[in-house]
């Protein structure tokens, strides 16, 4: 029996097949090479230098952040995205550090189309719409990862996330999720939360009373307190979350409360940034105007450095 004649393939179908093949090749390149880095240009030396100069009183933060980034970026094909969770009370530098980090990963910093902000208060304010929010959140993350596998996601106010909603993020954080056409494992997720801040403050105060210098505090000193306050709290967005059960958070980053001399340094930094003369009298007055705790010792700033910029105009 003779060979059958080849069936001609319609031109439109050929176009579609060619496009699909091109997309497959692009997906392969993105998975195996750096062709799809989206302008990602990490400057770890610059990041470390800027944090050393501008981040006041947070040695553990610098240590954990640089350790996590170096380990992650050394891998050409990481097994999973980098996931960090920032914890501490208001004004201790969580949002500031995330902005500095973005600036040293992408030239446009927070304005980069590949750095994405999320706030449950702004984006998902109503608990009764949780199911719809879950679908929106999944679509939002997957869409951004499809556009750029090197995406950076900043999730602020995680302590206000509706319980259960956070589990929508979970599949994107592990090694098994597939986003077609990109290597999503190169993404970075940063969770920012005030949860655990009170416990971190109490632990720091207890260690101070035990004559432990603040700069001697280790991550091990803080881990149990943060875990209990954040991951075992029914009011927390992390409550019974698969992210915790599956150990998908790579680095917990505690932000310690700031002492009086730290606040003074924040005042100096702010004066320099505003192009104003650094007057020691102004520095002292601004720092003294901020409330401190506990009531008797007045050791740590109740608002960190959060209100420093707004107070300077009253004394300059």
pLDDT of 310: 94
Give 226-235 contacts, CB < 8 A, sequence gap 24+: 226/87, 226/196, 226/199, 226/200, 226/252, 226/254, 228/199, 229/195, 229/196, 229/198, 229/199, 230/85, 230/87, 230/159, 230/193, 230/195, 230/196, 233/195, 234/163, 235/159
Instruction: Summarize the annotated binding site for ATP as residue ranges.
Output: 88-95
* 3 or 114, higher pLDDT: 114
pLDDT digit string, tens, across residues 69-116: 999 999 988 999 999 999 999 999 999 999 999 999 999 999 999 999
Average pLDDT over residues 38-45: 95
Q: pTM here?
A: 0.84
Average pLDDT over residues 116-128: 86
Is the per-residue pLDDT at 121 higher than 70? yes
pLDDT of 226: 79
CA–CA distance, 164 with 242 (Å, rounded to integer) = 9
Res. 228 pLDDT band, cuts 50 70 90 = confident
pLDDT of 2: 46
CA–CA distance, 220 with 209 (Å, rounded to integer) = 18
pLDDT of 237: 58
CA–CA distance, 204 with 207 (Å, rounded to integer) = 5
* 29 or 62, higher pLDDT: 62
Is the per-residue pLDDT at 295 higher than 50? yes
Res. 167 pLDDT band, cuts 50 70 90 = confident
Which residue segments constitute the domains of the chain, with CATH numbers given?
Answer: 44-255 (3.40.50.300), 260-313 (no CATH)
Is the per-residue pLDDT at 161 higher than 60? yes
Res. 179 pLDDT band, cuts 50 70 90 = low
Neighbours of 313 (CB within 10 A): 10
Res. 65 pLDDT band, cuts 50 70 90 = very high
Q: Which of 7-21, 172-186, 250-264 has the lowest mean pLDDT?
A: 7-21
Q: Which of 24-33, 154-163, 240-249 has the lowest mean pLDDT?
A: 24-33
* 171 or 283, higher pLDDT: 283
Instruction: Summarize the annotated binding site as residue ranges.
Output: 88-95
* 28 or 208, higher pLDDT: 208
Is the per-residue pLDDT at 154 higher than 80? yes
Measured CA to CA in angstroms, residue 293 lies from 216, 257, 290 at distances of: 20, 10, 10
pLDDT of 275: 94
């Amino acid at each position: 029996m003779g060979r059958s004649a080849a069936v001609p393939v319609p031109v439109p179908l050929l176009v579609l097949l060619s496009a699909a093949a091109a997309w497959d090749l692009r997906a392969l390149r993105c998975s195996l090479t750096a062709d799809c880095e989206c302008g990602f240009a990490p400057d770890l030396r610059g990041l470390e230098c800027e944090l050393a100069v501008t981040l006041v009183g947070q040695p553990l933060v610098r240590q954990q952040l640089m350790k996590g980034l170096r380990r992650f970026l050394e891998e050409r094909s990481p097994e999973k995205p980098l996931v960090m969770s920032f914890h501490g009370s208001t004004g201790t530098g969580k949002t500031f550090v995330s902005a500095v980090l973005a600036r040293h990963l992408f030239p446009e910093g927070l304005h980069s189309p590949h750095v994405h902000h999320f706030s449950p208060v702004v984006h998902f304010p109503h608990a009764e719409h949780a199911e719809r929010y879950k679908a929106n959140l999944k679509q939002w993350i997957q869409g951004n990862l499809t556009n750029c596998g090197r995406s950076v996601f900043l999730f602020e106010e995680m302590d206000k996330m509706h319980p259960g909603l956070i589990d929508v993020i979970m599949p994107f954080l592990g090694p098994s999720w597939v986003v077609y056409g990109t290597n999503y494992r190169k993404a970075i997720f940063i969770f920012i939360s005030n949860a655990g801040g009170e416990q971190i403050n109490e632990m720091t105060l207890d260690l101070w009373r035990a004559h432990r210098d603040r700069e001697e505090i280790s991550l091990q000193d803080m881990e149990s307190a943060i875990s209990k306050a954040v991951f075992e709290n029914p009011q927390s967005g992390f409550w019974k979350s698969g992210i915790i059960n599956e150990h998908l958070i790579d680095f917990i980053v505690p932000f310690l409360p700031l002492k009086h001399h730290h606040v003074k340094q924040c005042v100096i930094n702010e004066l320099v940034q505003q192009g104003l003369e650094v007057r020691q009298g102004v520095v002292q007055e601004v720092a003294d105007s901020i409330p401190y705790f506990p009531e008797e010792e007045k050791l740590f700033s109740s608002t960190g450095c959060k209100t420093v910029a707004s107070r300077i105009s009253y004394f300059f």
